[in-house]
Amino acid sequence: MKTGGAITIPITWAATRQGVVAALAYVPGYLVFGAAVGTLAAQKGLSLGEAVLMSMFVCAAASQMVALELWTADWTFAHILAIAGVTAMVNARFVLSGASLRPWLSPVRAGFVYPVLGVLTDGAWAASIRYHADGGRDFGFFVGSTVALWFTWSLASVPGYLLGALVHDPKAYAFDLIVPLMFTATVTPILARTGKYLAFVVAGGVAFAASLLLPGYWFIVIGALAGACSGAFSRGRAA
Amino acid sequence: MGRDLLQADGAYLAIAAMMIVTIATRVGGYWLLGRFPLTPMVRRGLESLPAAIFAASIVPLALRAGPAGWVGVFCVAGVMLFSRHEILALAAGLVAAAAVRMLGF
């Protein structure tokens, strides 16, 4: 792959396929969330086309649920601005997820990175970060995992929309815990390999405190920034 | 005129607005870092960022969910340490968390 600098990273079909395979681990979780979003979309009076378009273009489960709670039939510009505002707040974590990919993907030409980055989801980010922590550098993995989960999520709301309340009581099956559980599955080997325990503990502690004090999802951004700062300062003194 | 547009296409406009701000968050952090030189300290911070994002998501969500949350998280971490199999770990965590809830905790 041609790049501006001297450093280049490969892009191969093998790694792309590897990314798709790694993404499969997240498909069950995406289908459960898709069922919940689809059910909610049907209840709020969206057409099936609107529900699919939203999943395809926004592609962020939690923000879609919050936005759907605010959905209306009588639109005003203020209402659309409010929905855009809560969407930005719920998805603010993506600013940090994207930033964390910069050291790996910076050799890749912007025209290749940005279109894929535009449909990044939590599962693809997690799978890609784990691949990178294991020593992988192939851009294909990022493309494969991201596009596979984008495709999955685009259609994941259809069964829930058509079948109504597919998951009657998500809490009884602990489906409301899928995000923290799936993230735990991904971060465990990453922690074992990279040893970023200090950042993990600081981020977790600060995020929990923030979650008690602030509404919404700001705790993710605040906790993650605190953890990153602890990493930035601690090793500077030791090394 | 604006009112007619909103009546006809309000849902599509809302979806478009959501799309624009979400893509801005995904692309924004990556773009911003390209505008600044990566000093050693920034690089160390970035190296810790993934673990920090995971922790900041997992810990509050699990703790606020009560015993089912942290029992589930520990089960997933335990299975991952021994098997390195995500689906198996997720299944174990879901079963454990659902069981804790069923017992009434």
- The answer to whether residues A52 and A20 belong to one domain is yes
A165 and A200: one domain? no
Q: In whole numbers, what is the pLDDT of chain B averaged over residues?
A: 91
| pTM: predicted TM-score of the whole model, two decimal places | 0.83
Percentage of residues of chain A with pLDDT beyond 70: 93
- Is residue A136 in a domain? yes
Burial class (CB in 10 A: 0-12, 13-18, 19+), B58: buried
Are residues A121 and A85 located together in one domain of the fold? Answer: yes
Residue B17 has pLDDT above 70, yes or no: yes
B67 close to A (CB below 8 A):
no
B103 touches chain A (CB under 8 A): no
Same domain, A215 and A114: no
Q: Are residues A144 and A120 in the same domain?
A: yes
Tell me, yes or no, whether A80 and A145 share the same domain. Answer: yes
Q: A residues 16-75 near B, CB within 8 Å?
A: 25, 28-29, 46, 50, 53-54, 57-60, 63-64, 67, 71-72, 74-75
* Same domain membership, residue A160 and residue A42: yes
Of the pLDDT bands very low, low, confident and very high (cuts 50, 70, 90), residue A235 is low
Residues A118 and A200 in one domain: no
Q: What is the ipTM of this complex?
A: 0.86
Residues B62/A223, Cβ–Cβ less than 8 Å: no
**Shortest Cα–Cα distance, B60 to chain A (Å):** 4
Same domain, yes or no: A86 and A103: yes
- The whole domain housing A181 covers 13-192
Dist. CA A157–CA A76, nearest whole Å: 26
What is the percent of chain B where pLDDT is above 90?
69
Instruction: Establish if A6 belongs to a structural domain.
Output: no
Report yes or no on A219 lying in a domain.
Answer: yes
pLDDT over 80 (residue A168): no
Same domain, A51 and A70: yes
A51 and A130 co-located in one domain: yes
Does residue A1 lie within any of the structural domains? no
- Residue A112 confidence (pLDDT): 95
Q: What is the pLDDT of residues A95-147, one digit of tens each?
A: 999 999 999 999 999 999 999 999 999 999 999 999 999 999 999 999 999 99
For chain A, what is the domain count?
2
To the nearest 10°, report the CA torsion of A233, A200, A64, A150: 90
Q: Is B92 on the interface with A (CB under 8 A)?
A: no
